[in-house]
């Protein structure tokens, strides 16, 4: 089982606002259209699942 909090880089006791903010930041960072890395699509998918 994946730790979704770890994927988003936040503490397990994070507020909903913190979770949404972390998601937006990570999604923008790993979006395949913005990141040319080979691992970007995989990481973006993990962030979306979290």
Cα→Cα distances 10→15, 19, 20, 33, 39, Å = 10, 7, 11, 24, 21
With the C-alpha atoms ordered 29, 31, 35, 38, is the resulting torsion angle positive or negative? positive
In the chain, which residues have pLDDT < 70? Answer: 1
Cα→Cα distances 20→14, 25, 26, 36, Å = 10, 9, 10, 24
pLDDT of residue 1: 52
Range of the structural domain that residue 20 is part of: 4-49
pLDDT of residue 3: 86
Domain count, the chain: 1
Angle value at C-alpha 9, between 15 and 32, nearest 5 degrees: 115
Per the structure block, which two tokens stand in for 12? 């397990």
What mean pLDDT is reported for the chain? 90
Q: Is the pTM of this model over 0.85?
A: no
CATH number, domain with residue 11? 1.10.287.110
pLDDT of residue 50: 84
């Amino acid at each position: 089982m994946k730790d979704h909090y770890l994927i988003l880089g936040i503490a397990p006791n994070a507020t909903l606002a913190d979770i949404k903010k972390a998601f937006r930041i990570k999604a923008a960072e790993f979006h395949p259209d913005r990141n040319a890395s080979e691992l970007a699509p995989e990481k973006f998918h993990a962030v979306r699942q979290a």
